[in-house]
Structure 1
């Protein structure tokens, strides 16, 4: 079966969701720093994710239609994502925020996109072109400028340790992103809710028990839970769907706009100054992100026969990937069922989404 497509291939939904995810997460960073004045960072990490899990759980229960649920084969990937990105990474982020200006910490989080892409290319064999590699180099250069001694405001723990904590958080989320891609065809609300609930409860229990943290005021708990629902919960839902549509490295490239949003919010909300290194780093990172966003990848490629389960829509199928047969009635609506893709050869602009994870 051969399907030939001409013209520009629309990737509108994936980038929009990735940018929404970035905006929600990026804006949450300076507000999380502000909350640290009244709560232990370990406990705050738990409150943020627990608020995410509870909020998404309620949303999931209120829905009439759900996507596929994780099965036994998904549990190792999902468990690893929860541990790396839900338990370890947020604690390291908040520890780093104690020793860095919010704007500097926000831009340093761009290291996540680099580490995410390196893991995606090195371990999961996503393709990478010269343009994407140059973009990553620009992002790394910006991170190096921010990490240089004296380039940023130092807190009580000292910049070097705070930078290491931030980079550790980035590594945790990079591992999380790649593991989550393995289960991204499942219902995103369920995935994000499970992650938030499990990771949040774990950190709250550990912070109160092992860390001997004191419970903050009810108003601070409510603020942290609400911030977590928006900046970690809804953000993660959008990110999971973007992973399905764009692949890990490209979704990470769009998500790299989050640190710029966080830095801007730090200047506007926290009143932090605009420094020379911050502006230079922002310029380099912005150029790197632009190179990622303007990448074009087109070539003739073959799809082997594939059977899987995910929500799809026959009415919005420009590539011809969902032209399978089933009882009438669902052609114009998003729906979910096991389906088989026949072998297919065609040429069009594409990214490493759930249907384009082929070798190059």
Structure 2
């Protein structure tokens, strides 16, 4: 299996598990404070991880032209999205909210295709339509569920819109250090949301709740985001979103098995539609003759057919490694994804 697919599925597994756990941890916390603590756990954990990895603080290597993309991603994905999700979790079941999060992959793909001009194959479009149908079925109010309303699913859908924008903006900087990108997003979003929540009168929870919340944030928002960025680098936005859409199935399963939430016929119907959409995504293959233009950038790489360059420094032969390198024009044909080296027109 492609390593980038493993990254995407790993990100999905961690984030999917965090959703029902966040609902349990946040029963006595304001949605804004819970979102802030989850992202703060992410930022603190990844910053510590980066300090250990680099043996001290090192420059990010992010170019000046890339900072606006990263700041926009932080605003939508780190501030607005989590607050909308946490608010939605207070008004709907964990299993319903988990499956509603499949809409993130659809909206991510639509933005990637329409705004950022990423390639859209028919299989990917068909899979997205199946996921949309499942999301609509899941969100439809049921007469037997008196507490269910449109407000909860609508708030979760708004979170999906924010994260779809975040995903496409993050793709613009995905060649840079994934741990730094995810860490700075977590720290910024966590501090902003926590300060806002405390200003509105929220109180920090007891250490018995605070500790597990930060840990869930580190794993479900931090490590998950690092893996997601690595997948963006290798698969492109829409394909990464497709694999990541498996996250809600794991979240829903945890909510049902561990927390005893009820299972309806609508739930199973939506699951089948969304599962069909994901299966179609996994079947997609893309290959044609394409032209690589000259490109100068920096990221971790091995010396494959796209990285045949000389080194301006003494190289110890270890791969993968990271440094600024120049790509020369080349024309060839092979199966590929719209990764950082295949953002060509069709």
The TM-score range, normalised by the shorter chain, is over 0.9
Corresponding residue to 1:235 among 211, 216, 224? 224
Aligned to 2:204: 215
Aligned to 1:344: 330
Aligned to 2:86: 94
Aligned to 1:353: 339
Distance (Å, rounded) in 2 between the aligned partners of 1:39 and 1:96: 14
Corresponding residue to 2:100 among 101, 108, 122? 108
* 2:266 paired with 1:280: no
Aligned to 1:292: 281
Structure 1 residue 215 displacement after superposition: 2.0
Note the residue ranges of structure 2 that are not aligned, 5 or more in a row: none
Corresponding residue to 1:26 among 16, 27, 52? 16
Aligned to 2:121: 129
Distance (Å, rounded) in 2 between the aligned partners of 1:215 and 1:154: 32
1:184 touches 1:244 (CA, 8 Å); kept in 2? yes
Note the residue ranges of structure 1 that are not aligned, 5 or more in a row: 1-10
- Trace 1:44-83 onto structure 2 (pairs within 5 A): 44-64=34-54, 69-83=61-75
Specify whether residues 293 and 151 from structure 1 end up closer, same or farther in structure 2 by C-alpha distance, changes over 3 A only. Answer: farther
- How many residue pairs match? The answer is 343
Distance (Å, rounded) in 1 between the aligned partners of 2:81 and 2:144: 22
1:47 touches 1:204 (CA, 8 Å); kept in 2? yes
Structure 1 residue 152 displacement after superposition: 8.1
Specify whether residues 139 and 83 from structure 1 end up closer, same or farther in structure 2 by C-alpha distance, changes over 3 A only. Answer: same
Aligned to 2:310: 325
Distance (Å, rounded) in 2 between the aligned partners of 1:349 and 1:330: 31
Q: 1:199-241: CA deviations, max 9, x gaps?
A: 00000000000x2112211111111101000000000000001
- More deviation in 32-41 or 180-189? 32-41
2:60 touches 2:180 (CA, 8 Å); kept in 1? no
Structure 1 residue 164 displacement after superposition: 1.0
Distance (Å, rounded) in 2 between the aligned partners of 1:67 and 1:239: 22
- More deviation in 216-225 or 45-54? 216-225
Structure 1 residue 64 displacement after superposition: 3.5
1:321 match: secondary structure: coil
Structure 1 residue 153 displacement after superposition: 4.5
2:141 match: secondary structure: coil
* 2:132 paired with 1:140: yes
- More deviation in 143-152 or 256-265? 143-152
RMSD between superposed Cα atoms in Å: 1.5
1:67 touches 1:336 (CA, 8 Å); kept in 2? no
Distance (Å, rounded) in 2 between the aligned partners of 1:187 and 1:67: 10
1:146 touches 1:152 (CA, 8 Å); kept in 2? no
1:68 touches 1:185 (CA, 8 Å); kept in 2? no
2:81 touches 2:163 (CA, 8 Å); kept in 1? yes
Distance (Å, rounded) in 2 between the aligned partners of 1:50 and 1:294: 37
Q: TM-score, normalised by structure 1?
A: 0.92
Specify whether residues 154 and 212 from structure 1 end up closer, same or farther in structure 2 by C-alpha distance, changes over 3 A only. Answer: farther
